[in-house]
Amino acid sequence: MNDEICSNFVVLRSYFPDDLGESPTLDFNKSTSIKKYCPDDKCNTDLEKIMAGFLWSLEQNCSISKKEGYDENNTNVFFLYIISWLSHKLNKNSEHYSTKINDFYNKYVYSNQKYTSLINDDSKCANLKKIIDEKNDLLNINIEDMSNFYDVFKLLCNMYDIVETRADDNTLLNDTTIFVNKYSEINDYYNIENTPYSKILSVLLTDYNNFKTKNANKINNSKQFPDLPTERATKSFLRHSSIKISVIPMTFIFFGLLIYLGIVYKTQFKNQKNKEENKSLIYYSDYIN
């Protein structure tokens, strides 16, 4: 990732705020560069606006990637970031949250003529098209799940922005701590080997490490930055959860049975003792008489 890519997401959020009910700071209808991706240059629904913003972001990345010295690895991170942004927006729509990204892509993106014209133009987006083709398996994720990665990508971009704007180290360290905590939560839930989720986490891990290396000379406290986890904190528990889930109830049943048998035995013993005492009293009474 780089600051120029991240700054485009800041612009995107100015037109499409992350939170429902939040007012945009820029007027979508006045943005000719985004509106050109609307059907007939006019978006009538929220979905059409989101798609226009998505396509605009692809175009911006394609333009940046043509600049001299551009690191092509940034396109890999960008693609996952924009997919997580798209999922974040769609997740707020109950119609799409359980849909797989690939299904949505087939219905609304691949069939979009403006997307086809953009992505198939080798002079503009050859690198991005290659990334999309290679990362097709990462689209086989529910929109709701992919949206959970959005905050982590957003936080990582904030860190790039803080360095470029030369904000104080405490602000950067604070945002980094939030990022690491959020990443750890996502990692603990999604880091399952040989799945699309683990691949996304790997991209985030690599980009974070690259960020530390690239900006070490700009950050006074770079050595204080924590490392990201590479394994799940609850891995051992989850691996044996089926055993523990079955053992714990059986333990309760066993002890419950012991208690029950103890009560039954005690009751029967007491009743038997009372009977014997009654017999003794009767015998003694008859003997006296």
Q: Which residue has the higher pLDDT, 75 or 260?
A: 75
Characterize 89-128 residue by residue with b for buried, 16 or more Cβ atoms within 10 angstroms of its Cβ, and e for exposed. bbbeeeebeebebbebbeebbeebeebeebbeeeebbebb
d(CA 197, CA 187): 9
The partner residues of 142 in beta bridges, in order of sequence, read 100
85 within 8 A of 9, measured Cβ to Cβ: yes
Residues 264-285 have a mean pLDDT of: 51
Q: What are the angstrom distances between the C-alpha of 99 and each of 128, 141, 146, 248?
A: 24, 8, 11, 36
pLDDT tens-digit map of 174-201: 888 999 999 999 999 999 988 999 999 9
- pLDDT (tens digit per residue) in 10-66: 999 999 999 888 899 999 999 999 999 999 989 999 999 999 999 999 999 888 888
- The two tokens of residue 242 are 């089926």
Checking if the pLDDT of 236 tops 60, the result is: no
Residues 261, 255: Cα–Cα separation, whole Å: 10
Residue 266 has pLDDT above 60, yes or no: no
pLDDT of residue 250: 45
Residue burial 132-152, b: 16+ Cβ < 10 Å; e: rest:
beebeebbebbbebbbbbbbb
- According to the model, what pLDDT value does residue 276 have? 53
pLDDT at 258: 53
Residue 239's pLDDT band (boundaries 50, 70, 90)? very low
Q: In the prediction, which pLDDT does 272 show?
A: 58
Q: CA-to-CA distance for 167 and 163, rounded, in angstroms?
A: 6
Are the CB atoms for 232 and 187 separated by under 8 Å?
A: yes
Please determine, for residue 254, whether its predicted confidence score (pLDDT) is greater than 70. no
Categorize the per-residue pLDDT at 253 as very low, low, confident or very high, splitting at 50, 70 and 90.
very low
Q: Which residue has the tokens 């979009």?
A: 112
Confidence of residue 136 (pLDDT cuts 50, 70, 90): confident
Q: Where are the alpha helices (DSSP H) in the chain?
A: 3-15, 32-35, 46-65, 73-91, 101-104, 113-119, 122-134, 143-147, 150-164, 169-190, 196-214, 235-239, 241-288
Closest by Cα among 213, 209, 223, 214 to 169: 223
Q: Indicate whether 109 pLDDT > 70.
A: yes
Average the pLDDT over 111-129 and give the result.
82
Contact 118, 60 (CB under 8 A): no
pLDDT digits (tens, 9 = 90+) for 268-278: 555 555 555 55
Calculate the average pLDDT of the chain: 80
Q: Look at residue 287 in the predicted model and tell me its pLDDT.
A: 43
Residues 50-65: pLDDT tens digits? 999 999 999 998 888 8
Instruction: Using pLDDT thresholds of 50, 70 and 90, give the confidence band for residue 263.
Output: low
Residue 180 to residue 95: CA distance in whole angstroms = 32
Instruction: Return the pLDDT at 243.
Output: 28
Confidence of residue 215 (pLDDT cuts 50, 70, 90): confident
Mean pLDDT in residue range 195-215 = 91
Q: What are phi and psi of 166, to 5 degrees?
A: 60, 40
Nearest CA-CA partner of 78 in 156, 161, 164, 167: 156
The answer to whether the CB of 56 falls within 8 A of the CB of 128 is no
Q: What is the pLDDT of residue 45?
A: 92
